């Protein structure tokens, strides 16, 4: 076995789904390149002449051996493992990403991958049939998160272990690689935004809309508990300027919508949302946007102008507290992956998650339109259990290969204001001093899952097939 370090290269990188030359890999857990003997060190001159670039550095090993690279993909903080990340060796420079809402498809990575794999729930990967030699490029990618590094040397027919988390983590800032553009709306009843610095996004990447693309995270001010607007950095505009304008929404790959303590729509005190808002958000989702919501932000589903979106669930709303803990559903492949991932991050959790407060806004969901990931007892609101974590692909009710956007809703306050030192205020993100709570890891998992390509949630992820 060979232990390998690496030299980081900050490079503009690939888009998940914006490829003109989609390439991928046969085996979900490591593949060779093109079939046949060409370029594999067999001595066949005709085949050797046919290979190009790094494919000429792939070597056939005797006795069933292989040249492998192994490691673990982490969040920018180097601590949280990333599930379902694509890891590959490119044979060309990956194409620039298209930022903002786009209808990305699974399997459309660029850079003509020579070999690739995807990560397990613990973030581990085994990349097979890796080109041998010095300065071998390696790309790690989840949606529009992408980082390209260089492995100083890959030795033939052995395992080359990448043990430094700094090598195989996602980028902390734009100088290290590609990051999605994120809009965060603050809210008086949820410090959802404090999850972002905790997963490792550099403080230098936080700003407001007027900063433009120089900052990856823009904060907008939603409704507060006792004030018209919640806290946020100086210069942050009201959230209504974001969600009343579909073109503004489409500037962002994802929108994180913190609970505003009430529905905050027309007819209530200090409303921030109206019919224009709901129509714009619906159009954003259909264009490939991603939204992350908690508690009262169920409004984006309940009051959508799209009857299909309204039909995904019965949502009485009103934020009735219900019993915890949440129990993860491990009966489908990605649900089992979340169960296993959480046991890695919070050992001994065994599928039990206890947010600060759990709510029963959702009475039930339609299984063909929404994937439930966790449930908890209904408590005073009835017998049995109710859905507490769910995802919905958009447009609702069509095949996954025709869907573009996605919403994840967590019916809880995972980081309740006032129970610690975290807050979103003028000094954000430096106003988030608390270590990540066990339940807050749930936010981290879905934050990166939300960035990934749209797929049937009931199916296990697979890398795209290789184009030969």
Express each pLDDT in 89-100 by its tens digit. 999 999 999 999
Q: Would 447 be classed as within a structural domain?
A: no
- Which of 107, 133, 168 is the last residue in one of the domains? 168
| Residue 109 and residue 49 share a domain | yes
CATH code: domain of residue 36: 2.60.40.10
Last residue of a domain, one of 114, 143, 168: 168
Within a domain: 226: yes
The pLDDT of residue 377 is 93
What is the rounded average pLDDT of the residues 134-141? 98
pLDDT at 1: 46
- Residue 58 within any structural domain of the chain: yes
Domain annotation covers residue 461 = no
Residue 164 and residue 43 share a domain: yes
Q: Are residues 272 and 382 in the same domain?
A: yes
How does pLDDT run across 40-76, given as a tens digit for each residue?
A: 344 445 555 589 999 999 999 998 899 999 999 999 9
- Give residue 26's pLDDT: 33
The 3-class SS string of the chain reads: CEEECCEECCCCCCCCCCCCCCECCCCCCCCCCCCCCCCCCCCCHHHHHHCCHHHHHCCCCHHHCCCEEEEECECCCCCCECCCCEEEEECCCCCCCCCCCCCCECCCECCCEEEEEECCCCCEEEECCCCCEEEEEEEEEECCEEEEEEEEEECCCCEEEECCHHHHECCCCCCCCECCCEEEECCCCCCHHHHHHHCCCCHHHEECHHHHHHCCEEEEECCCCCCCCCCCCCCCCECHHHHCCHHHHCCCCEEEECCCCCCCECCCCCCCECHHHHHHHHHHHHCCCEEEEEHHHHHHHHCCCCHHHHCCEECCCCCCEECCCEEECCCCHHHHHHHHHHHHHCCCCCCEECCCEEECCCCEECCCCCEEEEEEECHHHCCCEEEEEEEEEECCCCCHHHCCEEEEEECEECCCCCCCCCCCCCCCCCCCCCCCCCCHHHHHHHHHHHHCCECCCCCCCCCCCCCC
Residues 294, 401, single domain; the answer is yes
The domain that holds 260 is classified in CATH as: 3.40.50
Question: Can you give the pLDDT at residue 463?
Answer: 79
Last residue in a domain, options 112, 142, 168: 168
Q: Domain for residue 255, yes or no?
A: yes
Instruction: Tell whether 260 and 386 lie within a shared domain.
Output: yes
User: What percentage of residues in the chain have a pLDDT greater than 70?
Assistant: 88
pTM (global) more than 0.85: yes
The total domain count for the chain is 2
Instruction: Give me the domain span that covers residue 114.
Output: 2-168
Q: Judge whether 248 lies within some domain.
A: yes
């Amino acid at each position: 076995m060979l232990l390998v370090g690496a030299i980081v290269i900050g490079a503009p990188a690939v888009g998940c789904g914006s490829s003109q030359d989609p390439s991928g890999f046969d085996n979900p857990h490591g593949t060779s390149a093109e079939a046949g003997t060409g370029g594999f060190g067999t001595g066949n001159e005709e085949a050797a002449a046919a290979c190009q670039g790094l494919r000429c550095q792939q070597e056939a090993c005797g006795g069933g051996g292989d040249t492998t690279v192994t490691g673990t993909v982490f969040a920018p903080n180097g601590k949280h493992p990333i599930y379902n990340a694509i890891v590959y060796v490119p044979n060309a420079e990956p194409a620039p990403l298209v930022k903002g809402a786009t209808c990305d498809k699974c399997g459309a990575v660029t850079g003509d991958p020579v070999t690739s794999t995807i990560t397990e729930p613990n973030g581990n990967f085994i990349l097979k049939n890796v080109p041998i030699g010095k300065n071998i490029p390696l790309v790690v990618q989840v949606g529009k998160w992408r980082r390209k590094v260089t492995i100083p040397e890959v030795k033939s027919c052995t395992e080359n272990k990448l043990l430094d988390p700094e090598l195989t983590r996602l980028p902390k800032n734009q100088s290290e690689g590609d990051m999605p553009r994120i809009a965060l709306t603050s809210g008086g009843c949820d410090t959802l935004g404090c999850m972002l610095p905790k997963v490792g996004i550099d403080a230098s990447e936080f700003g407001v809309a007027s900063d433009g693309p120089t900052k990856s995270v823009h904060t907008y001010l939603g409704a507060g508990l006792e004030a018209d607007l919640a806290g946020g950095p100086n210069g942050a505009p009201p959230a209504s300027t974001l969600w009343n304008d579909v073109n503004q929404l489409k500037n962002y790959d994802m929108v994180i919508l913190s609970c505003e303590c009430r529905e905050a729509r027309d007819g209530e005190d200090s409303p921030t949302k109206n019919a224009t808002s709901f129509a714009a958000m619906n159009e954003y989702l259909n264009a490939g946007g991603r939204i992350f919501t908690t508690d009262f932000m169920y409004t984006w589903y309940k009051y959508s102008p799209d009857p299909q979106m309204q039909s995904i669930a019965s949502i009485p709303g009103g934020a009735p507290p219900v019993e915890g803990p949440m129990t993860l559903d491990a009966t489908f492949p990605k649900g089992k992956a979340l169960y296993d991932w959480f046991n890695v991050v919070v050992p001994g959790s065994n599928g039990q998650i206890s947010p600060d407060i759990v709510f029963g806004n959702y009475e039930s969901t339609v299984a063909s339109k929404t994937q439930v990931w966790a449930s908890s007892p209904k408590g005073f609101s009835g017998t049995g259990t109710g859905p507490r974590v769910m995802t919905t692909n958009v447009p609702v009710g069509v095949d996954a290969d025709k869907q573009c956007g996605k919403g994840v809703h967590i019916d809880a306050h995972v980081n309740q204001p006032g129970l610690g030192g975290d807050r979103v205020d003028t000094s954000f993100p430096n106003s988030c001093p608390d270590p990540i709570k066990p339940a807050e890891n749930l936010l981290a998992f879905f934050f990166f899952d939300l960035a990934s390509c749209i797929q049937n949630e009931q199916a296990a992820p697979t890398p795209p097939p290789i184009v030969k």
